[in-house]
């Protein structure tokens, strides 16, 4: 077994500070995992892949739960260059907690976990975790080294568009869906109606709406309807969130949506950012509505709750609540949507038509009328 090493000392304000290593082509006789060494990211889960000896590899993953807590996994094994699979039988899960003085307390949850990582030539990998299925739905992408000046240039080159020609009203495309647009109301983590939400309607790209219609049709046959909290989100709304997060005094909705967190960790932990996938038009937040009980299905947590409770695989909920989350997840992934590891309600069309474009038009029916 390879030596396990803690990464918790690399935590800073809830963010993982990892060294970014450029993969290099493996020469004859070299460890083939050299083609894939480096740092990877999947949502809030960071991963470090290292070569060990001539054929061994070690993978260390860190999932930040809060500013003072994180989950670490360590695995090692032999990398098969033919299948590009790294199998392991020594997986260890460690829970870290730190007090306000930075003292790290650790607890080993299990050892000798089994599973595998499957790499591909695009410098991504998936994780088949047989112990807890913690890797289900995660796709880790290699994180290149980007100098600050290049990062700033990328920000300036961000593509914005007010062209709504490929968008539709969700209520017309998926008539069985129920709408509860939280950001048009004041019942959200900000406590105000959010900029850019001018009507309680939902907009999506045609491609995402067509896929969602298939999801809806399947679930209606099982006695459920989709209930939509949010879909396309204009950039002005994201800017509203950013401005709110910078106002330390405004904590009106803390007890409902982020009781475990202080606002100063929302940026480093990724709850708030300058841009949102929702603005690309193929991401939505939703739950299930049970037609028999005429109530929302119990997911064990509320929409937009900032915390580990919202992770789809959170273990502190009932079996029924977990199965409800998996019912929604299976319905969405079966029709081409990718889940988010930190939010049970959040899904993005895998083949989204505008992966690099962020739209700016407001949420109202006029935005798509006559388009």
For the segment(s) 152-367, the CATH number from 3.30.1380.10, 3.90.1560.10, 3.40.50.10130, 2.60.120.370 is 3.30.1380.10
pLDDT at 297: 98
Per-residue model confidence as pLDDT tens digits over 146-174: 444 444 555 555 789 999 999 999 999 99
d(CA 37, CA 18): 13
Per-residue model confidence as pLDDT tens digits over 307-321: 989 999 888 999 999
**Domain spans in the chain, listed from the N-terminal domain onward:** 8-142, 152-367
Bridge partner residues of 118 (DSSP): 85, 126
| H runs (alpha helix) in 246-342 | 254-257, 319-333
Percent of the chain with pLDDT over 90: 59
Q: Is the pLDDT of residue 235 over 80?
A: yes
pLDDT at 264: 84
Tokens of 299: 């997911």
pLDDT band at 17 (very low <50, low <70, confident <90, very high): very low
Q: Is the pLDDT of residue 109 over 60?
A: yes
3-state class (DSSP) for residue 222: coil
Question: 3-state secondary structure string, 314-361?
Answer: CCCCCHHHHHHHHHHHHHHHCCCEEEECCEEEEEEECCCCCCCEEECC
Mean pLDDT of the chain: 85
Question: Which sequence positions are flagged as catalytic?
Answer: 343
pLDDT band at 251 (very low <50, low <70, confident <90, very high): very high
Of residues 85 and 122, the one with the higher pLDDT is 85
d(CA 192, CA 252): 10
Q: How far is CA 47 from CA 21, 43, 108, 274, in A?
A: 12, 11, 19, 23
Q: Is the pLDDT of residue 259 over 60?
A: yes
């Amino acid at each position: 077994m390879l030596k396990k090493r803690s990464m918790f000392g690399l935590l800073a304000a809830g963010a993982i500070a990892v060294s970014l290593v450029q993969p290099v082509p493996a020469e004859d006789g070299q460890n083939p995992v050299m083609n894939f060494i480096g740092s990877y990211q999947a949502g809030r889960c960071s991963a470090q892949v290292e070569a060990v000896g001539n054929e061994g590899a070690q993978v260390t993953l860190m999932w930040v739960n809060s500013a003072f807590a994180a989950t670490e996994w360590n695995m090692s094994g032999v990398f098969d260059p033919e299948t590009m699979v790294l199998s392991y039988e020594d997986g260890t899960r460690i829970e870290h907690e730190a007090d306000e003085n930075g003292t790290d307390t650790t607890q080993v949850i299990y050892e000798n976990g089994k599973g595998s990582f499957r790499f591909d030539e695009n410098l991504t990998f998936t994780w088949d975790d047989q112990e807890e299925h913690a890797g289900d739905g995660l796709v880790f992408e290699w994180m290149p080294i980007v100098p600050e000046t290049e990062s700033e240039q990328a920000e300036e080159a961000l593509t914005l568009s007010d062209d709504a020609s490929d968008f539709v009203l969700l209520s017309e495309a998926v008539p069985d869906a129920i709408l509860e647009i939280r950001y048009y109301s004041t019942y959200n983590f900000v406590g105000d109606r959010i900029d850019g939400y001018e009507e309680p309607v939902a907009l999506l790209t045609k491609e995402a709406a067509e896929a969602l219609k298939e999801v809806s049709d399947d679930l209606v046959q099982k006695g459920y309807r989709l209930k939509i909290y949010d879909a396309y989100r204009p950039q002005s709304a994201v800017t509203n969130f950013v401005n709110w997060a910078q106002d330390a005094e405004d904590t009106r909705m803390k007890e409902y949506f982020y009781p475990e967190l202080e606002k100063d960790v929302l940026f480093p932990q990724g709850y708030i950012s300058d841009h949102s996938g929702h603005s690309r038009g193929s991401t939505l937040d939703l739950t299930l509505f049970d037609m028999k009980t005429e109530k929302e299905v119990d997911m064990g947590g509320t929409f937009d709750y900032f915390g580990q409770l919202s992770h789809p695989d959170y273990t502190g909920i009932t079996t029924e609540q977990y199965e409800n989350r998996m019912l929604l997840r299976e319905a969405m992934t079966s029709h081409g949507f990718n889940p988010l590891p930190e939010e049970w309600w959040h899904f993005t069309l895998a083949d989204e038509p505008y992966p690099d474009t962020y739209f700016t038009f407001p949420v109202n029916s006029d935005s798509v009328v006559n388009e």
